[in-house]
Every structure is written in C-alpha cells, then in structure tokens.
Amino acid sequence: MRKTALWKDAWRAIRGNGRRFAAMTIIVAVGVMMLGGLNSVGRDIRAGLDDFFDDANMHDVSIVSTLGFDDDDIAALRDVDGVSTAAGVRSQSVTTGIDGERASATVTTTTDHGIDGPYLVDGRLPKTGHEIAVTSQYLDDSGRRVGDTLRFTPDDSMTTTAAGSGTGGPNGTFDDGAYTIVGVVIDPNDIVNPNGPLALVSGAKTVYPMFVASDAVADADAPYTSVVLTIDGAKPMDTYDDDYLATVAKTRNALSAIQSKRERARTDSVREEAVDKAMAKLDGQRSMIDAMPDGLPAKTAAREKLDEAERSIRDKVDDSIPDAKWIVRDRSDVTSYEDVKTQSEMIARLGTLFPALFLVIALLVSLTAVTRMVEEDRGLIGTYKALGYTRRETMLKYLVYSGAACLLGGLIGDLLGLIGLPFVFTRRLISRIYVLPSYPLFVDPRLAIGGVLLFAVVITGTAAVACAGSLRLQPAELMRPKAPKAGRTIMLQHVGFIWNHLTFLGKVNARNLFRYKSRAFMVIIGVLGCTALMTAGFGMGSSALTLMPRQHGEVSVYDVMAVTSAADHDDAQRRLDGNADVRSSLPLQLGSVTLSGTDGHGDAADGQLTAQLMVVPDGKSLDGYINLHTADGAPIGLEKDGVVVTTNAAARLSLAKGDRVDVTDRMANSAEFDVHAVARYYTGNVVFMTRSTYEKAFDADYAPNADLIDVRGGDDAQIAFADRLSEQDGYLSVTSSARQERDFSRSFMIFFVMIGFIVVMAAVLAIVVLYTLASTNISEHERELATIKVLGFRRREVHGYVDKEMMLLSGFGIAIGLPCGRALLGFLVSRLDLPGMDIVPNVKWFCYVAAAVLAFAFTVLVGKATDRALDRIDMVGALKSPE
C-alpha cells in the first residue's frame, strides 16, 4: 500500500510539472540524438564503402611494375601464401573527343576473375572487343548516351607499354576503331563526386575512367600493366578494422619474399626480348658467315665483328631498360579510402563533443527542476518522514520523475539519431561528396542503450543529490516554510552614482542577481552555450565560403591554368605569347606524385597522400602567379636543394621545415627531399621544386606541360578566355579561377546544412534552459510578484521586473559566448581534417552580430512565453500564509 501511494505520487508529479518534465526530455532527446546519430553517420559512411568494395570484389593489394608483368609473374603471385586470387590488368592513358575538345581518359580491361569490377549503374558490362563502359560524368559532359560510339587515341606520353615496346595499332595497347557504349559504371578506384567539393578543391584535370573487355587488347602477349590481388578471408572483414589491416600486412610481407626474384626475372625477360629483336636484323649476316668455308681468316674476323655487335647491343639494352621495380599498394592508395576514414572519424569526434555539452546542460536543467520540486514539496516530504517512510522511499518520486524524462527523451533521441540523422547526412549530404550507390543504416544497440543510460545515470544522480539535502532535515523543520535568503549589501551599492540613479525595481533586480547566484550562473551558461554554438556555426560557414576566395586572392593569384601534353606545349606557348588577352604567363611542369614522410633513416613512415607536383624553371619566380608564404605571412622562395610543401599535406604527414619527404612520380621513380618550407595553401596538396632539383633527383628531363596565365579583364573576361582556350586543340585541361570560386560555393551545401543544424541545436539549448530557469524564477518569487501586483504595478512593469533580470543575464552570456564561440570554431576546425582543405577560422563581423541577435531573440521569445505565467498568478492564493 505504501509503495502504491508513492508510485501514484510519482506519476502525478509528472503531470503536475509538465513543463519541467518536457524541458528535461527535450535536452536528453537532443543529447542522445547527437551522440547516437553522429557516431552512426561515421559508421554508415564506412559501411557504405565496405559494401561497395565487396560488391566490386575490390583488390586488397595491387602491384605496379615499371616493366609490366607476364603470365609467369601472375602464376608466382597466385602461389604466395595468403593470396586468394591474382589477375593481370592492362590499362592505358588515352585522349578522346568531347564537343571537339581533347579530354583525358584511362582505358582499363575488366579482369577474368572479376577483381576491381566496375559497379554497373545502367546497361551492361563489355563482352566483346569493341564495347566500352563509361561513367555518368562522361555521358553528361559529352552528351552521349548508351548505344553511341566513341574513339580514343593513346596519350603521347604513354604510347608504349610498360615493357617499353609499342604494341597494337594507333591506339597502342587496344584495337583501333569505334567503341560502342554499352554500360554506365562507377569506377571502384575513384568514388569522388566529380561535381562535389573534393573534386573542385583538388583542381586536377578530369580523367574519365573507361572499361573494355580483355578482347579489346591488340596484342594478346602484351604485358600486364598491373596485378590486383585478393586475400584469403579478407572479404568478410570490415575494410577499416585492425583484423583486416593485419591480414593485408601479413600477405604483403609474404609478397616481399618473391619480389626480388620476380623483378630480376622480368628484367632479364624484357632485356632478352629486346636483344632478340635487335639481333634478328643480324641473322642474315650470321647465316652468310656460317656458309663460308672454315679456316678462312675473313670468316673468323666476321664472326668476331658480329659477336662485338651483339655485345654492343646487349650493353645498349641494359643501359636503356632499367631494372624492373614493383610498387606494392593496398586500399589506402585508393582514392577516398583514407578520406572516408578521416571524415568518419571527424564526425565521430563531433559526436562526442556536442553530446558532452548537452549532457552538462541537461545536468543543470535537471538540477534546477528537481531542486525546485523538492522546495515546493518540503511539507509533503516532512509528512512522509513523519509517517515513517525511509529516505529511499521518499526519494523514489524524484528518481522516477527524472528517470522517466531520460527514458522518454532517450527513446525519441534514438529514433531521431539512429534513423533520421544518418538518413539526412548520408543520403542527402555525403552523396554530394562520393558516388557510392548506397549507404546502409546500421543501428548499434550499444549506442542506442548506452546513450540513454549515460544521461539516465547523470540526471537521476543529480536528482538524488538535489533530494539528499532536504531528506537529512527533521520532519518538523521540513513542514515549516524555508526561510528566505538574508539580504546583503551588494558591491553595486557602494557605487553611488549608479545605485542612486536606479529605480526601485532596478535595485531589486540588482539584489536578486547577487542573491540567487546559482540561477544566474545557469542562465549565463545556457546563453553562453547557445551563443558559442551559433558563433561557431556561422564562423564555419564564413570560413568555408571564403576558402576558395582566399586561395585565389592571397596565394594562387593566377587567372587561368592551362594544361597540355609535353609535345604540344611549345605550340601552345607560342599562341599564348601572341594573344592580346594574355598579360603574362609562366610555363612549368605539372604532374601527380605520391608524398610520404620518412622516419629519419631514409625509410618511409606511415601515411601517404597524392599531391600535385609543380616544377618551376630555374631563375623564374612564382610571384604574381602563386605567392608562397608561411602561415605567419613570411615569403618563401624556391631553393635548389629542397622542396616546398603546402600546409594540409604537411599536416597530414606530420612534416615541418627541415624534415625529409619522399616523392614518388607516376613512373614509380622515388626521391627524397628536404622540406625547405611549409607554405600556406587553402585548397589542394602541392609540392614545389625547381627544374634543377627535379632533373637531379629523378634523372629525367624537364618537360613543361602547363601555363599559369594572367588574363586582362575581370571575372567574366577570364571565364570567357578560358572557354575559348579550351576549344583549341592541344589543351587537356583549362581551369578558370573565377569559375572555380563560383562552382565551389555552390557545391558546399554540406556546410550550410551543418550551420543550420548547429543553429537549431543552439536554439533548442537556449529556449529550454531559459524557459526552465524563467519558470523557476517565477515560481520562487510568486509571493513577491503577487505583492507588487497588489501594490498596483501595471502588467508591463511586472513583466519588466522579471524580464529585465533575464535580459541582463543573457547579455552577460552573449558577451562571454562570442569569444568562446570563436575558440570553439578553432577547436572544431582542428578536428575537421577535410582532405585537401586547410580551413582557417575566419569569423566575419556579421557572424558575431547574427549570433548575438539570435541569442537575444531567443531570450525575448522565452520572456514573452513566461509573461503569460505572470498574468495568471493568483494574488490571493499566493499571499495566503502556508501556516
């Protein structure tokens, strides 16, 4: 019977304190939503990539050789312990036509074992020699559709196979002629959305992936350009789990056991083939010598001359064909594999930061609500104790109250966080970055239950603490009203020129601020958190949207970058020199390299990334085209013995001035350089070096293939010039800085959604906290408010009596919240780690104004809502003595 009465009283308390209960429920719901939702988003992104890799039968290890591979290499790789399947791949860089312009593409054969199979979106995969599958981007850009035909020609820099010998017809590796488009696919090795922010940030030229059947190869005996491997037991594993990484590492170690032997065998095979081809021209001479009678001095001399020629040929072949070199890679070298990892980790970090903030706010709200409930129930608690109820039984009401708010809020938060939030982020936002076909929505029971338990333990514990003080008192003391706090002289009273000019209500407000310090502290904290969140949100948008303008305004100040092939560059340069629209231009060599840090002993350290290589002619300055400077603004010049690395690349590889960095070009030639300086660069990863540095390190000739161009006129003139240039034959890529800025801002929808999300969360935070505290304030001062109403104060004066105090406290919270928001933004940006982006906090003045105005507006709205409670105060009932 006793317990039944207590339970009834507990549920009756929920109905009777609905507003407080709703406030606690909302705060818990938001906190659980963010904890579970943001962590689930990170998991869903990774799971989407893992499922995609499984569907495409993605390689676990890929190997590229400078001399290609033959069938003996493939057979040897299949026998390595841990290797499930090995397949050879033939690919070639080609050019094709799009609206009369040359475009770059990579044609790759599908493998017999289905490894790295392109993901089919529409149509079917190629089955015969003159069928081809392309991406949606190619169809969009070219205006073609399934059933149309296309042609391609070999890139002049890749007209030979990896073995160094030309094969096939005019198309090199592949048959000449028209290819029919039979399917639309996604390249599993490149899942970046070509219209998304990552593609625009990279600034790299568009290279269209295309796939053909193995029958399209012109020479069936042509070497494979690469080999892809799958590993036993790896497919069921999560591609990011430690077990998977350990399995791959074990197999890579096993591959190293045969690497040297197979490299030597391939080198000997290619050189012997080259010698045989050269010696074939001398076969007739050998036959003639063999036909001569034995013993003739002429026969002996001729044979010695022929042997000398053969030795000379072998020497020349050995010098011209370098030793074969394998480059063994895993999935970390696949485009976006590491990007997805860092972004999912970044979202998970936010999933810890934001819930922690709301957990603190939930603690404050619950402490305020339960403390006030206990004060209002002093007489009832005293009665319970007088009737013999234990402290635990008496406390049950408040634990049930707070626990029910946690369970209801947790349930709502789980529904929104584990289903709603991942759906919005992955299906609507992440799809703008990557072209993955699907994202599974995984519900982790540990997150669903753990988040609710975390808030339940903290809040019910807070409720227990709030009850503990009153439960230690005797029943007689509890049944008497609590004595009000004694008034004290406050500091402001000693400042006469202020205190003497305050109105009566102004003096009362000032006394209350110092009298109820805990409540004032909670208001300030709530508004501070709201303001800081909004400042950080608006600042994030400001920083992102000014990223590209700052890049082109402070660093890459050229107007147009035009890329050609090395063979076409001289002609293109002459046309630029004679173009009246060109103010000046700077030729340079542009390429793609892989950067990796070293451990100080010449060995590669963990971590690598793809970067753009810019080789600048000796004696030429980048000033006026690319203004290299450090983060603190100090100018940087290129030196002959070192390289300059941009900030994002340096941060990803933990590089600093004086460190060593390994640079590997697309032909797998590697060289180690000193980092001369780290240059501020907002978008993209770039490494700069001089011509002499490049030629000495890579033992290769400088081959300019690009120009940085300063164009006369404004943005429209620059864009028009770039359009005209791109229509000319010989240009592979033409990039306008003005157009890139415009497209970049359009593609950054994800940041606008994040800003909106943060502002909404801030609004919830402010409204719940302010409403709870304002309601508590009115409840605590009900008799006082009834008194001034009896004394004839008008409604507006009564409202002002309460609202003025809240406004003043909100002002303090806003003033402190603005700089805190700037600090929070710096923390968030340091944790974002977006690939290829160096986001520097850049909070414009209107961001601070918007955050302050909105925080003030929330305070006003809450004040208007609580004014109704002031109007409903029963003066007679409030002034009756509880005795």
pLDDT digits (tens, 9 = 90+) for 173-187: 888 888 999 999 988
Angle between helices 795-832 and 504-515 (to 10 degrees): 40
> Does the pLDDT value for residue 163 go beyond 70?
no
Dmax over Cα atoms in the chain, in whole Å? Answer: 143
Q: What is the pLDDT of residue 198?
A: 61
> Does the pLDDT value for residue 305 go beyond 60?
yes
* Residue 801, Cβ density class (10 Å: 0-12 exposed, 13-18 middle, ≥19 buried): buried
Phi, psi of 126 (to 5 degrees): -60, 140
> Does the pLDDT value for residue 140 go beyond 70?
yes
Cα angle value 560/566/572 (rounded, 5°): 50
Distance CA 190, CA 167 (A): 27
> Does the pLDDT value for residue 258 go beyond 80?
yes
Distance CA 588, CA 407 (A): 64
pLDDT digits (tens, 9 = 90+) for 730-757: 787 888 888 888 776 665 666 667 677 7
Instruction: Give the distance from CA 23 to its chain's centroid.
Output: 34
Contact by Cβ (8 Å): 803, 816 = no
Tell me what the mean pLDDT of segment 289-307 comes to: 75
Distances (CA, A) of 691 to 579, 620, 654, 659, 698: 26, 10, 26, 21, 11
Say what percent of the chain tops pLDDT 90: 20
> Does the pLDDT value for residue 328 go beyond 90?
no
Q: Which of 10-19, 268-277, 842-851 has the lowest mean pLDDT?
A: 10-19
Tell me what the mean pLDDT of segment 268-294 comes to: 78
**Among candidate residues 408, 497, 415, 492, the one with its CA nearest the CA of residue 448:** 415
* Residue 683, Cβ density class (10 Å: 0-12 exposed, 13-18 middle, ≥19 buried): buried
Q: Which of 77-81, 91-95, 523-527 has the lowest mean pLDDT?
A: 523-527
**Among candidate residues 826, 835, 745, the one with its CA nearest the CA of residue 547:** 745
In this structure, the chain runs to a length of: 883
pLDDT digits (tens, 9 = 90+) for 597-610: 765 444 444 567 88
Comparison of pLDDT for 420 and 68, the residue scoring more? 68
Assigned token pair, 549: 């303008």
Q: What is the pLDDT of residue 246?
A: 92
Q: What is the pLDDT of residue 126?
A: 92
Distance CA 744, CA 748 (A): 6
Q: What is the pLDDT of residue 1?
A: 53
Angle between helices 749-780 and 795-832 (to 10 degrees): 140
DSSP tag of 491: G
**Other Cβ atoms closer than 10 A to 78:** 14
Distances (CA, A) of 424 to 40, 60, 435: 12, 31, 16
Distances (CA, A) of 229 to 59, 161, 296, 318, 418: 5, 21, 59, 30, 36
Half-sphere exposure of 383 (CA within 13 A, CB side): 5
Amino acid type, 749: M
Which ranges of 281-390 would DSSP assign to H, the alpha helix?
A: 283-291, 297-320, 337-376, 378-386
Distance CA 466, CA 462 (A): 6
Instruction: Give the distance from CA 220 to its chain's centroid.
Output: 43
Helix (H) or strand (E) holding 728: none
Strands 604-616 and 731-736: unpaired
pLDDT digits (tens, 9 = 90+) for 347-399: 777 777 777 777 777 777 777 778 777 877 778 888 878 888 788 878 888 88
Distance CA 643, CA 654 (A): 15
Tell me what the mean pLDDT of segment 44-49 comes to: 83
Tell me what the mean pLDDT of segment 304-328 comes to: 82
Distances (CA, A) of 867 to 462, 508, 653, 795, 801: 29, 19, 58, 9, 11
Assigned token pair, 521: 């502290």
Q: What is the pLDDT of residue 678?
A: 93
Q: What is the pLDDT of residue 522?
A: 77
pLDDT digits (tens, 9 = 90+) for 400-448: 888 888 899 989 988 888 888 777 777 666 767 777 777 777 777 888 8
Say what percent of the chain tops pLDDT 70: 88
Amino acid type, 852: A
Instruction: Give the distance from CA 837 to its chain's centroid.
Output: 9
DSSP tag of 272: H
Q: What is the pLDDT of residue 878?
A: 57
Place 874 in a pLDDT band, splitting at 50, 70 and 90: low
Contact by Cβ (8 Å): 65, 325 = yes
Q: What is the pLDDT of residue 795?
A: 73
Instruction: Give the distance from CA 787 to its chain's centroid.
Output: 59
Q: What is the pLDDT of residue 805?
A: 78
pTM value surpassing 0.85? no
Tell me what the mean pLDDT of segment 319-348 comes to: 80
Query: b/e map of 424-457 (b: 16 or more CB within 10 Å)?
Result: bbbeebbbbbbbbeebebeeeeebbeebbebbbe
* Residue in this structure with the two tokens 């002034």, named with its chain if needed: 879
Terminal C-alpha separation, the chain = 29
Domain residue spans of the chain: 1-58+338-483, 550-740
* Residues 6+ away with beta carbon under 8 Å from 538: 755, 759, 843, 846, 847, 850, 851
Phi, psi of 805 (to 5 degrees): -65, -40
Cα angle value 794/797/801 (rounded, 5°): 140
Place 47 in a pLDDT band, splitting at 50, 70 and 90: confident
Q: What is the pLDDT of residue 877?
A: 59
Assigned token pair, 710: 């300063």
DSSP tag of 424: I
CA dihedral 221, 226, 229, 235 (to 10 degrees): -120
Q: What is the pLDDT of residue 261?
A: 93
Tell me what the mean pLDDT of segment 110-135 comes to: 88
* Residues 6+ away with beta carbon under 8 Å from 532: 817, 818, 820, 821, 823, 824
* Contacts within 8 Å (CB) and 24+ apart, 17-22: 17/369, 17/373, 17/401, 19/771, 19/772, 19/775, 20/369, 20/372, 20/373, 20/772, 20/775, 21/369, 21/401, 21/404, 21/405
Distance CA 358, CA 145 (A): 52
Assigned token pair, 56: 């495409």
Average pLDDT, the chain: 81
Place 882 in a pLDDT band, splitting at 50, 70 and 90: low
Distance CA 788, CA 511 (A): 16
pLDDT digits (tens, 9 = 90+) for 553-570: 889 899 999 888 888 898
